[in-house]
């Protein structure tokens, strides 16, 4: 099977954990003609450039810009065929205390990406979303929910000649910047680690798995759908025991905007939910699900971490710590 993405691909938030993994995967497997890393952090671009220099032989370009700036996006998307929109403010506490900034980046930034893609004749746009967007209780989740809505309805907004726009939604990424795994590794030296709530469960995915799913979603998307991988879930105590074995656990209390369990599919999803083997697809309510294959799930179907918690593979946790 040919997995190549024939054309030029631009990654917003391209210097983030996922963005760098996407670049590594695309380059290693020669999956695209050209890659543009779009981000606002010149230092991170400089550090990436030491590993993957721009220009020949990688056909890689670094483009400074912010998704809040529609004019800059319009310039960056000249000649671009595909966009992976991964730029976001994602730290829950930071978004809670800086709500205007979260809205500007996560909501208005997504609108800017879609509008610029329409104007520039981009073929496909894929929004990277989060389980926090499902029945959100914090501002980060609320902004991702709105971003999902913008993406899901963008195909109708763009018209027949516009790009296909879709969403991929998954859980916590092992080893991403800000991951609790790295915090526990630092705390483990003292013999004690902190958890917010012993009952807590989360869905987990590794960075290589996330990048593979994102690229697969970009290739297979039809437009308007939300693609959700089937992921392992683990209790916070199971994860802590693997990361910091033998350490005492201090429960410090749940933080504002946190849930005890996370949900990847809510009973309130609008549209048809299809089981497609290793992933689910949510087809919007105003679209006929017939072109999509798979088994239609019953109304009220829920995919929650607390209902399917299984112990994560140790190799996955070690891989997350190493990244």
Q: What is the DSSP string of 260-310?
A: SS-EEE-TT--SEEEE-SSEEEEEPTTS--TTS-SEEPPTT--EEGGGSB-
List, for residues 98-116, the tens digit of each pLDDT value: 999 999 999 999 999 999 9
State residue 180's pLDDT score. Answer: 77
Long-range contacts of 129-133 (CB under 8 A, 24+ apart): 129/167, 129/168, 129/169, 129/170, 129/226, 130/90, 130/169, 130/170, 130/171, 131/169, 131/170, 131/171, 131/172, 131/203, 131/262, 131/263, 131/264, 131/305, 132/92, 132/262, 133/169
State residue 154's pLDDT score. Answer: 94
List, for residues 197-252, the tens digit of each pLDDT value: 888 888 989 899 999 999 999 999 999 999 999 998 888 888 888 888 888 999 98
Least Cα distance to 259 among 162, 91, 138, 98 occurs for: 138
List, for residues 117-171, the tens digit of each pLDDT value: 999 999 999 999 999 999 999 999 999 999 999 999 998 888 778 899 999 999 8
44 is catalytic: no
Q: Where are the domains of the chain?
A: 5-322
CB-CB contact of 99 with 59 (8 Å): no
Instruction: For the full predicted model, state whether its pTM sits above 0.75.
Output: yes
Read off the tokens for 243.
């990361």
Read off the tokens for 122.
């981009």
Looking at 3.40.50.720, 3.40.50.150, 3.30.70.20, 1.10.1060.10, the CATH number of the domain 5-322 comes to: 3.40.50.720
List, for residues 9-59, the tens digit of each pLDDT value: 999 999 999 999 999 999 888 777 899 999 999 999 999 999 988 876 668
Catalytic residue of the set 90, 132, 144, 259: 132
Full DSSP string of 179-244:
-HHHHHHHHGGGTEEEES-TT-EEEEEEHHHHHHHHHHHHHH--SS-EEEE---EEEHHHHHHHHS
Least confident piece of the model among 148-152, 176-180, 286-290 = 176-180
State residue 317's pLDDT score. Answer: 52
């Amino acid at each position: 099977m040919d997995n190549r993405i024939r054309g030029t691909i631009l990654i917003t938030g391209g210097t983030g954990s996922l963005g760098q993994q996407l670049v590594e995967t695309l380059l290693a497997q020669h999956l695209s003609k050209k890659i543009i890393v779009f981000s606002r952090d010149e230092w991170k671009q400089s550090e990436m450039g030491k590993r993957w220099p721009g220009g020949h032989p990688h056909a890689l370009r670094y483009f400074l810009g912010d998704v809040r700036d529609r004019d800059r996006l319009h310039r960056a998307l000249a000649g671009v065929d595909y966009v992976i929109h991964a730029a976001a403010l994602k730290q829950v506490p930071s978004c809670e205390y800086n709500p205007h900034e979260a809205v500007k980046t996560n909501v208005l930034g997504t609108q800017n990406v879609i509008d610029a893609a329409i104007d520039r004749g981009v073929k496909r746009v894929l929004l990277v979303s989060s389980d926090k967007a499902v029945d959100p209780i914090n501002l980060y989740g609320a902004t991702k929910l709105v971003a999902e809505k913008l993406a899901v309805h963008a195909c109708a907004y763009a018209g027949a000649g516009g790009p296909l726009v879709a969403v991929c939604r998954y859980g916590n990424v092992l080893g991403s910047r800000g991951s609790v795994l790295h915090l526990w590794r630092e705390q483990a030296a003292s013999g004690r680690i902190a958890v917010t709530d012993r009952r807590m469960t989360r869905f987990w995915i590794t960075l290589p798995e996330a990048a593979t799913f994102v690229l697969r979603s970009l290739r297979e998307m039809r437009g308007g759908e939300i693609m959700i991988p089937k992921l392992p879930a683990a209790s916070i105590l199971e994860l802590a025991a693997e990361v910091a074995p033998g350490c005492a656990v201090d429960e410090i209390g749940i933080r504002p905007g946190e849930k005890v369990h996370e949900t990847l599919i809510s009973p309130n999803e609008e549209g048809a939910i299809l089981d497609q083997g290793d992933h689910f697809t949510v087809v919007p309510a105003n679209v006929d699900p017939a072109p999509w294959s798979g088994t239609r799930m019953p109304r009220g179907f829920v995919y929650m971490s607390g209902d399917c918690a299984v112990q994560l593979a140790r190799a996955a946790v070690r891989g997350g710590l190493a990244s």
